[in-house]
Amino acid sequence: MSATNYDLIVIGGGPAGYAAAIRAGQLGKKVACIEMERAGGTCLNWGCIPSKALLKSAELYTKMQHAEDFGFKCDKITVDFPKVVERSRGVADQMAKGIEFLFKKNKVEHIAGQGRVEAAGMVQIMSGKREGEFLTGTNILIATGCRARMLPDLKKDGKKIMTAREILDRRDLPKSCVVLGAGAIGMEFAYFMNAFGCEVTVLEMLDNVLPVEDEEVSKFVERQFKKQGVSVMTGTKAENIKTTRKGISLEAVKGDKKQKIEADSLLVAIGVTANMEGLLSGKVKLDMDRNYIKVDDHYRTSVRGIYAAGDIIGPPWLAHVATYEAVQAVNGMFGHGEPRPMLRFPGCTYCQPQVASIGMTEKQVKEKGIAHKIGKFPFTASGKAVAALASEGFVKLITAEKDGEILGAHITGSEATELIAEYGLAMELEATWEEIHGTIHAHPTLSEALMEAAAATHGEAIHI
Is 278 annotated in some ligand binding site? Answer: no
The catalytic site residues sit at 443
For residue 314, pLDDT over 70 is answered with: yes
CA–CA separation, 215 and 283 (whole Å): 47
Is 204 annotated in some ligand binding site? Answer: yes
Is 137 annotated in some ligand binding site? Answer: no
What is the model's pTM? 0.95
Is 185 annotated in some ligand binding site? Answer: yes
Percent of all residues in the chain with a pLDDT value above 90, rounded to a whole number: 98
* 75 — pLDDT class (breaks 50, 70, 90): confident
CA–CA separation, 206 and 442 (whole Å): 40
Q: What pLDDT was estimated at residue 402?
A: 95
**Range in 1-15, 257-271, 363-377 the model is least confident about:** 1-15
Q: Is 460 helix (H, G, I), strand (E, B) or coil?
A: coil
Q: Which residues have CB under 8 Å from 227's CB, separation 6+?
A: none
Is 369 annotated in some ligand binding site? Answer: no
Q: Look up residue 198 and give its amino acid.
A: C
For residue 16, pLDDT over 50 is answered with: yes
For residue 1, pLDDT over 50 is answered with: no
For residue 94, pLDDT over 60 is answered with: yes
DSSP secondary structure, 240-274, as one string: EEEE-SSSEEEEEEETTEEEEEEESEEEE-S-EEE
CB of 25 closer than 8 Å to CB of 13: no
DSSP secondary structure, 400-430, as one string: ETTT-BEEEEEEEETTHHHHHHHHHHHHHTT
Domains of the chain: 3-147+273-333 (3.50.50.60), 161-270 (3.50.50.60), 353-456 (3.30.390.30)
Percent of all residues in the chain with a pLDDT value above 70, rounded to a whole number: 99
DSSP 328: H
**Range in 153-162, 225-234, 376-385 the model is least confident about:** 153-162
* Phi, psi of 180, rounded to the nearest 5 degrees: -95, 105
CA–CA separation, 321 and 312 (whole Å): 12
Residue 331 region, left (φ>0) first, then alpha (ψ -120 to 50), else beta? alpha
Q: What is the mean pLDDT of residues 203-223?
A: 98
Residue 123 region, left (φ>0) first, then alpha (ψ -120 to 50), else beta? beta
Is 184 annotated in some ligand binding site? Answer: yes
Q: What pLDDT was estimated at residue 371?
A: 98
